[in-house]
Structure 1
Amino acid sequence: MTRTRKASSLTSVLTFIAMAMLSWQSASADITARHGIAMHGDTQYAEGFPHFDYVNPDAPKGGTLRMAVVANGFDSFNPFVIRGVAAAGINTYLYDTLMEASADEPFSSYGLIAESIETPEDRSYVIFNLREEARFHDGEPITAEDVKFSFDVLTTKGHPFYRNYYANVTEVTIEDERRIRFDFGETNNRELPLILGQLPVLPSHYWQDREFGDNGLTPPVGSGPYRIGEFEAGRSITFERVKNYWAEDIGVRKGRFNFNRIRYDYYKDDTVALESFKAGNFDFRVESSAKNWATAYTGDQFESGKAITEAVEHGRPAGMQAFAMNTRREVFSDPLVREALAYAFDFEWANKNLFYGQYTRTSSYFENSELASSGLPEGRELEILQPYRDQLSRDVFTEAYQPPSTEGEGGLRENLRTALTMLREAGYAVKDGTMVHQKTGEPLAFEILIYQKTFERVVLPFKNNLERLGIDVSVRLVDTNQYIQRLREFDYDMTVQGIGQSDSPGNEQREYWHSSNVDVKGSRNYMGVDSAVVDELVNLVIQAPSREELVHRTRALDRVLLHGHYVIPNWYLPKDRIAYWSFLQRPESVPKNGVDINNWWVKNTDQ
């Protein structure tokens, strides 16, 4: 009787295992290897597509592109660690990634090092199948071991960004030499397969006997379209196109990276860089100054057509450029104080007198996109915010956010009166011409940290307006390297910061806003946002099951951030202002993401 029961139990167990294996095999059989993947819906480009629509597949290879960097030099060829300042172009030119995103879709990626991708409907894991022909610059094949090494070293020794970005990966399995699997701890993060496709693949054999954080200025082995050629420490670097580059004719690379050489020269001053461009010392420039754009691009070279200027419209989100307030500092701990300070910034005056009327005021962290919130929350967005009503400011539900304006009757004078009322409500008062806290007697004072001298003309009028309120403001201009280091250490009161966004926000939002990054040196939570509601909304954005739901959830996050008054919004321009010499040529089609010099070429390759 006992043997019969044991035999019966064993049979049941074996039957269960067999059924489970059949079920697993059946499920696996339904997962087909695909050439690409979209965040939501289908990809635009079919399998075997010859090239992206926005490139010229017949663009000639050759010539030299000379570029400028306004910075205080570089001391590293390793852009993946928090230490040092990496040379320009390393990420773009030296390393290939598993997949490549297209520039004319919200978020779709196609195979580069990975020939294909496999992921189930719930996206609980992803498998990358690597191309047999993929090679590093030293001829060594790119294997699954290199992919795993790259993931491990970036998340343990790399910049904190990588730990945040890939936080939901629970296991990495090498299935064979060219097949690697990533499993995820949660199954509702649809973005994970795509962001793993962005993983730069580093050669494990090169780093085997080297310390990852100590690379310095020793040119490393890469896999991308260029390798490091000549360089002068801190002053210039030249990238040389790799002959017989393994991926040259793959659809995501065809018609791109056409220059034989790309040289970056470093300038400490943008005014000097601009004059150097006009003198013909470099070839392509993206202009960030409205004054320069309106007044500086004149002379025979422009009148003759030897040098060209264009304002090319784009459809990418503008993100948020703003005066960012570090709420880790006591002076900015009160949101009412932060809101009051915004009334002292006169954008309308600056746009008219400094920017030649070129800009539009920013009113969203996702400006220039359908992701931006507007009006009052309603419909699905209101449903998302409703559970947090008791934890949020009433204004989130009752007032449409708009940055203060000086248009209309009263202008700046009325705005300063409003600011004064708010500051009194926050416990401040003016005594002997100085704004002080009534309980502590501490003056309201802070420093604005900048690294661009041209921005002084924007900051100084703002400082003057604040001083009319009795607020003591100093402006500190530092070099680029010092600025970077102070940002990493959160060693600033207020600074001018640009927070870029994509058309498909996801895991990077943790790096910007999540409370887990408040004290992580080098994180991009510049304002020190520390809110349980924001944390939950960030998670909802990451877990959005559809494009429609992503839009609603992002708008809800945007609205809560805006009413947190962490920044004083600046402005944006939905155009790329570019200047270039006429021997350069660009494709007729410009993708949604805007101008990309890596799709250009030299008309006469003897140049």
Structure 2
Amino acid sequence: MSNTSTPSRRQLLKLTGAAAVAASVPFVPGVTRLASGTETGQARHGLSVFGDLKYAPDFTHFDYANPEAPQGGKFIFTAPSWGYNQNPLTYNTFNSFILKGDAPPRMELCFDTLMVRAFDEPDAMYGLVAETVEISEDGNTYIFNLRPEARFHDGSKLTAEDVAFSLMLLKGDGHPQISQNIQELQDTEVLDEHRVAVHFTGNQSRQMPLFVAALPIFSKRYYTRYDFSQSTLTAPLSSGAYKVGKHAVGRYVEYQRFPDYWGNDLPVLKGQKNFDIVRIDFYRDRQVSFEAFKKGEMNYREEFFSKIWASEYNFPAFEEGRVVKREFPDGRPSGAQGWFINTRREKFKDPDVRRALSYAFDFEWSNKNLFFGVYQRTQSFFENSEMKAEGMPGPQELKLLDPFRDQLPESVFGEPYIQPVSNGSGSDRSLLREAGRLFKQAGFERQGSELIGPDGTQLTIEFLNNSPSFKRIILPYIKNLERLGIKATFRLVDAAQYQSRLNDYDFDICSRRYSLTPTLSETIRTFWGSEAAKIPGTSNIAGISDPVIDALLDKALEAQTREDMNVAARALDRVLRSGHYWVPQWTKPIHTVALWDMFGYPAEPPRYDFPVEDLWWIDQEKAEKLGKAG
């Protein structure tokens, strides 16, 4: 993580001339600026953290969706992304919104939400279950007016009781990446069958109401019979465009489009959810999944291995044109991908130790010899965005950083930290010497072939991973660490154990990628906040705990304008990079995709997401040529 044109039942304010009024709208802590120029207490069709909404109340569909797209067919793939307790390699539960268990990716397809994102706007949301929303004058209460036609798959009504119940259930028992993000949700109140009030404490960020509006809605009746906090392979009652269909645990799961889905014709869904079946297959080995794709057992593959992309698309179906390769732009912040260092462990507490580890990874050699030169080095936690820190800090950044000058290294006030560049030999001696100097500065001594720490023992590092394909990348890095006297090993574990160990922070170093939205939300606290470092299952796997970072997180989330947010993010980026919490890996601003040539898709994909399973469709004529129609 996610419409009839019937006239609204409540008054909607037109956006005409709204931009002229925007500057006069005062900022109230916690209030989200929605469709600038609207008044508090009036019903509105969308939410946006900054500025105006692109789509007027009478819009018929999102510009990037094809309202004429045919429906039908089957989309079969391995998941390129996932969230919460989802696992792309296996599953043992259909409860995707708690910490316990491993759920299949895309369970969110089965659940409706109050509102949904527009993927061609950086932070806008429009009504799904909620037709409109009203905001109190102090910005601390949001009243969602629900569509009376909303239904669960068993035909029962989806009401305000279900919404109120769901939000408090997620606050109490939801996955930490949910529950920790909605702590400032005070309570919920059922006003009538189709009106629910969500009360915030007054300390919420501007983004939190949008986060809440995107959370799944559960059936209160169903979850008063079943324990939400437990993992289960019983498919839950849900209300979304899809429901759980055929499945074989650990092998595949099919999400079947619900034929009588109540929201089929709503503007926010027109031209979307086109496949009858969205099927996810599970493979423990990427090469095995590639062989399955080549045989046509899957019809879509997002390729993450440059070696395969560059040299292995030479099989008959590709050479005959039945399989094609495509590249699509990725306009999102690319986020952070790297080897994250567990600073909860004593041996990694010194920043000099963590920095030294970066000098042993030869990206230039890896990019040339392993990646066919297709990648760029990741430097920032906010790559591919205006939030990335570059050059000397500007006046506004310094205004945020100066109060903490005595708590920060002087380097934060200069150029942001850049990862070392090697000579591409694979064992650049000058970089290894610098690593040795940093280790010595941190109290380590070389004794023969071993690097001995202040505790009198050799420094050991275990790289935890769940993909054998990563071994060829990690082994050259390990070889350089061994040259420094470190005993480094690669530990391959199964998918369930990997997720469990990450949840419990039971690792030295692990590889992970996190993507960010163009408007920062409460989730950044679970990435880098001190509280998240102490709670199992959050995204703060490095264990970052720094009061300065906490303060800058607050500044980013309190920002009144996008530029203020970008400035705060750049200041935050400088501090994070100076902490050396990771060894950054690589990035590319495109999606590299291979597919059996049977699909139709929008001519211009939305900038801020790439939801193929939502927006694409089967092109019947192409499918017939491949013998894959029907």
Using the alignment, how far apart are the partners of 1:547 and 1:264 within structure 2?
A: 37
Contact 1:313-1:594 within 8 A present in 2 as well: no
Using the alignment, how far apart are the partners of 2:376 and 2:440 within structure 1?
A: 31
Determine if the alignment matches structure 1 residue 557 to structure 2 residue 552: no
Deviation at 1:332, TM superposition (A): 0.5
Using the alignment, how far apart are the partners of 1:225 and 1:431 within structure 2?
A: 63
Using the alignment, how far apart are the partners of 2:615 and 2:89 within structure 1?
A: 28
Bigger mean CA offset, 124-133 vs 288-297: 124-133
Using the alignment, how far apart are the partners of 2:318 and 2:542 within structure 1?
A: 42
Give the equivalent residue in structure 2 for 1:223. Answer: 239
Contact 2:88-2:104 within 8 A present in 1 as well: no
Local SS of the residue matching 1:213:
coil
Larger of the two Rg values belongs to structure: 1
Bigger mean CA offset, 252-261 vs 171-180: 171-180
Residue of structure 1 aligned with 2:506, choices 469, 483, 491: 491
1:507-518 to 2 correspondence within 5 Å? 507-518=522-533
Local SS of the residue matching 1:368:
coil
Determine if the alignment matches structure 1 residue 87 to structure 2 residue 104: yes
Residue of structure 2 aligned with 1:476, choices 469, 481, 491: 491
Q: For the structure 1 residues 424 and 109, does the alpha-carbon distance in structure 2 shift closer, same or farther, using more than 3 Å as the test? A: same
Partner amino acid, structure 2, of 1:572: T
- Deviation track 1:288-312 (CA, whole Å, cap 9, x = no partner) reads 1010100111223122221111111
Local SS of the residue matching 1:308:
strand
Instruction: Tell me the TM-score normalised to structure 1 length.
Output: 0.93
Determine if the alignment matches structure 1 residue 546 to structure 2 residue 561: yes
Residue of structure 2 aligned with 1:276, choices 276, 287, 292: 292
1:514-533 to 2 correspondence within 5 Å? 514-533=529-548
Q: For the structure 1 residues 161 and 594, does the alpha-carbon distance in structure 2 shift closer, same or farther, using more than 3 Å as the test? A: closer
Contact 2:392-2:413 within 8 A present in 1 as well: yes
Residue of structure 2 aligned with 1:74, choices 87, 91, 102: 91
1:9-408 to 2 correspondence within 5 Å? 30-68=40-78, 71-91=88-108, 93-120=109-136, 123-186=139-202, 189-407=205-423
Deviation at 1:409, TM superposition (A): 11
Using the alignment, how far apart are the partners of 2:137 and 2:591 within structure 1?
A: 38
Contact 2:393-2:415 within 8 A present in 1 as well: no
Using the alignment, how far apart are the partners of 1:388 and 1:186 within structure 2?
A: 26
Determine if the alignment matches structure 1 residue 451 to structure 2 residue 486: no
Determine if the alignment matches structure 1 residue 502 to structure 2 residue 521: no
Bigger mean CA offset, 443-452 vs 405-414: 405-414
Deviation at 1:71, TM superposition (A): 4.8
Q: For the structure 1 residues 103 and 407, does the alpha-carbon distance in structure 2 shift closer, same or farther, using more than 3 Å as the test? A: farther
Number of matched residues? 579
Give the equivalent residue in structure 2 for 1:23. Answer: none
Residue of structure 2 aligned with 1:441, choices 439, 456, 478: 456
Using the alignment, how far apart are the partners of 1:201 and 1:188 within structure 2?
A: 21
Using the alignment, how far apart are the partners of 1:334 and 1:68 within structure 2?
A: 39
Deviation at 1:73, TM superposition (A): 2.3
Give the equivalent residue in structure 1 for 2:10. Answer: none
Contact 1:94-1:222 within 8 A present in 2 as well: yes
Q: For the structure 1 residues 380 and 432, does the alpha-carbon distance in structure 2 shift closer, same or farther, using more than 3 Å as the test? A: same
Contact 1:169-1:184 within 8 A present in 2 as well: yes
Residue of structure 1 aligned with 2:586, choices 558, 565, 571: 571
Using the alignment, how far apart are the partners of 2:116 and 2:609 within structure 1?
A: 17
Using the alignment, how far apart are the partners of 1:517 and 1:128 within structure 2?
A: 30
Deviation at 1:444, TM superposition (A): 1.4
Contact 2:244-2:256 within 8 A present in 1 as well: yes
Determine if the alignment matches structure 1 residue 591 to structure 2 residue 606: yes
Deviation at 1:196, TM superposition (A): 1.3
Contact 1:405-1:411 within 8 A present in 2 as well: no
Partner amino acid, structure 1, of 2:560: P
Bigger mean CA offset, 42-51 vs 210-219: 210-219
Partner amino acid, structure 1, of 2:378: T
Contact 2:356-2:439 within 8 A present in 1 as well: yes
Partner amino acid, structure 2, of 1:549: D
Contact 2:518-2:608 within 8 A present in 1 as well: no
Bigger mean CA offset, 205-214 vs 321-330: 205-214
Moved >6 Å (runs of 4+):
408-411
Contact 1:119-1:193 within 8 A present in 2 as well: no
Contact 1:188-1:545 within 8 A present in 2 as well: no
State the superposition RMSD in angstroms: 1.8
- Deviation track 1:540-597 (CA, whole Å, cap 9, x = no partner) reads 1111111111111111111111101000111101000111111122111111124321
Using the alignment, how far apart are the partners of 1:124 and 1:349 within structure 2?
A: 53
Partner amino acid, structure 1, of 2:604: S
Bigger mean CA offset, 192-201 vs 341-350: 192-201
Q: For the structure 1 residues 551 and 318, does the alpha-carbon distance in structure 2 shift closer, same or farther, using more than 3 Å as the test? A: same
Contact 2:362-2:426 within 8 A present in 1 as well: no
Q: For the structure 1 residues 374 and 122, does the alpha-carbon distance in structure 2 shift closer, same or farther, using more than 3 Å as the test? A: farther
Give the equivalent residue in structure 2 for 1:14. Answer: none
Using the alignment, how far apart are the partners of 2:323 and 2:339 within structure 1?
A: 34
Give the equivalent residue in structure 2 for 1:580. Answer: 595
Unaligned runs of 5+ in 1: 1-27
